[in-house]
Structure formats: structure tokens, C-alpha cells
Amino acid sequence: MIEIDGSYGEGGGQIIRTALTLSAITQKPVRISGIRAGRPNPGLQMQHLTCAKAVRKVCRGSLEHAEKESTELIFNPGRIVGGKYDFNIGTAGSVTLVAQTLIPILLSASKKSALSITGGTHVMKSPGYDYFENVFIPAIRRFGADVDTSMLRTGYYPKGGGVIEVNVNPSELKGCTDWASEEIIRAIIRISGLPMSIAIREKKIFVQDDLYKVAIREDESYSVGNAVTAWKGLRGSYVIGEKGKRAEIVAKEALDAVKAENSDVDMHLADQLLIYAALAEGGTIYTTTKITNHMKTNMYIITKFIDRDILEESGRIKVV
């Protein structure tokens, strides 16, 4: 059984997700202790529990201590089974993080899978759905992952209720070194239950910079919300609107962040691609603007399960 210190490095939920994903794929049991020990609300929260129970369900494994606020989790994986699955986080927890936990597992199933995940589609501290669809999914397709996705309903904090569907076909992953992508900046502005003038003011920030590929989407959702996602190829940014935060600031933060990304992939995607690079046959190389603590923690967890060298130097990631 592989032992993981849940408080290592960045010490967040990514440790749980990566460890469970790789446990299922490698068929190595895992014990995670000290889960989120340094956080204001330590232990497992609903989003982490949904991920854990979802992984158990798709590979018929067994979980111990899978309870809210538990600081330990033991997982014994079973056989991965593709098929149709429906998961409801029950809060505005991130649906994209649940999807990112399950996709690598289901790529190695013997048949295709269809996921329906209910929760938050555009929430803090996780990839918003538009980033997931327009940046993350195209990036993992570079490895050969046959995945497509759609959003049926937008979900914001606090009620959530957003729904996404993800279709995953079994795929053999190959290493990637070609990350050439377009330089045109595109954006999606989402607004739910708030004045349309907010979205229009946000769009003006892009137009003033001679950027016109900006779509405004007015959605129905259980909670009011606003989100701005901008991207150029495989480099993206995502900012949530907040009460008291001017629309112009929300849009400018998103625009400035994507304009600052000049490497192969953005710093968040660089982290999210590590697991695919480690699972792929052959080597992978890409550059990114910043190596985050989140990414360093992810590197450590991955190498506990997979015997691959993950090398980093001056923003250049090499998996051999």
C-alpha cells in the first residue's frame, strides 16, 4: 500500500484526486493521511468525497473512512468498468475537478463511458467549464485522449445545480512535444440573474484592445453569477465576478492574465497535463510561465505511483 501525506507541499484536494486516479489505474492501494491538515476546514469536504466515491464506483473498489471531515482515506482499487455514470456533488463543488479525476481512469476502460456531473460549473479555485472545454480538453486530445464534453446548465455558488456531460472513449495515450497553437485571443462572458450591462462592460474591455472574438452567454442558473474566460490556443485564464468587484476589473484580470502567457501552455494547464504525460507512452516536453507549488506537489504524488522522471528547469517540463 502506497502511503501519502495529505499535508505535503500545497496540501490541498489535488493530492486526493491524483492519488485516487493513479491508484485506480496502477491498481496500487493507497492510504492518504493528514488530509488538508493545514487548511481552515481540514479533512474531506463534499467535493473530495464525491471524487473518492466516483473513483470507487467506476473501478468497483473499496473505500475506508470516506466521511466528511475525515483526515484519512484508504482506497483499494478494483477493475475499471466503463459505462454510464451520474454523479451529484450536492453543493457548488467543482464539476470539472470531478471530471478531471475520472477521465484518465476511463480512458483505460474496455468500453466507452458517459458521465453526467452536477454541481458548480463556474466556481472559485477550480477550472471553470469554459476553460475546461476550450483549453483543457483540446490539450489532452494532443495525447490521443478521445473525449468530448457539453454543459446543460450553469452552476454558481452557493446553490450549484450546474450539469455537464463528458463522453470518454478508451484511448492509448502517446507523449506529446508539439504544442503549436493560435495566438488569437477569444473570450466567453457568462451572466446569470444579473443585469446584462455587467457583461457589456466586460466585453468593452476586450473591444478597447481590438479583440472582437468575445461571446456573451446569458444563462439560467439557481444562483446569480458572472464569469469571464479568455484563451489563446492552450493558454487560458478564468475570473469569477464577485459582489463589489467592478465588471471592468473582472474582465481586465482575465485579459491581462492570458496576455501574460507566452509559453506552450499556461501554468494551470501545465499542472493538469502532468498525469497524462506520466501515463503516456513516450516522452513529453512543454514549457510554461510558472512552476506553482500545486504543480510541484502533483509531481511528487505522480512519482509515488509511476516510475517516470519528471524534470523541470526554467519553466521547461520534461517527462521521460
Mind listing the pLDDT tens digit for each residue in 63-92? 999 999 999 999 999 999 999 999 999 999
For the beta carbon of residue 12, count every other beta carbon within 10 angstroms: 19
Q: Domain holding 116: CATH number? A: 3.65.10.20
Cell for 214?
Answer: 468575445
Find the farthest-apart pair of alpha carbons in the chain and give their distance in angstroms, rounded: 56
Query: Based on the domain organization, do 36 and 138 belong to the same domain?
Result: yes
Each residue's pLDDT tens digit, 246-279: 999 999 999 999 999 999 999 999 999 999 999 9
Do 163 and 277 fall into the same domain? yes
156 in the same domain as 12: yes
CATH code, domain carrying 243: 3.30.360.20
Same domain? 239 vs 121: no
**208-239: b (≥16 Cβ within 10 Å) or e:** eeebeebeeeebebbbebbbbbbbbbbbbbbb
Q: For residue 187, what is the enclosing H or E element? A: strand 186-192
Identity at 186, one-letter amino acid code:
R
As for how many domains the chain has, the answer is 2
Evaluate whether 63 touches 74 at the Cβ level (below 8 Å).
yes
Same domain, 105 and 199: no
- Residues 278, 216, single domain; the answer is no
pLDDT in tens, 207-251: 999 999 999 999 999 999 999 999 999 999 999 999 999 999 999
25-77 pLDDT tens trace: 999 999 999 999 988 899 999 999 999 999 999 999 999 999 999 999 999 99
> 269 with 169, same domain?
yes
**How many other CB atoms are there within 10 angstroms of residue 244's CB atom?**
4
| Strand partners of residue 150 | 165
The domain of 52 spans 2-179+264-314
Q: Of 165, 151, 159, give the one whose Cα is nearest residue 120.
A: 159
Say if 320 falls within a structural domain. Answer: no
Tell whether the model's pLDDT for residue 95 goes beyond 90: yes
For 302-311, the pLDDT digits (tens) are 999 999 999 9
Q: Is residue 319 in a domain?
A: no
Residue 120 has pLDDT above 90, yes or no: yes
**Residue 32, domain member (yes or no):** yes
Asked whether residue 116 falls in the same domain as residue 213, the answer is no
Is residue 119 located within the same domain as residue 169? yes
Q: Is 37 found in the same domain as 120?
A: yes
Both 104 and 125 in a single domain? yes
End-of-domain residue from the set 259, 275, 290: 259
The DSSP bridge pattern shows strands 84-88 and 113-119 to be parallel
154 class by beta-carbon count within 10 Å (0-12 exposed, 13-18 middle, 19+ buried): buried
**Assigned domain for 163 exists:** yes
Record the pTM: 0.97
Catalytic annotation, residues: 294
What is the overall mean pLDDT for the chain? 97
How far is Cα 283 from Cα 306, in angstroms, rounded to an integer? 14
In the predicted model, is pLDDT for residue 181 greater than 90? Answer: no
Same domain, 61 and 210: no
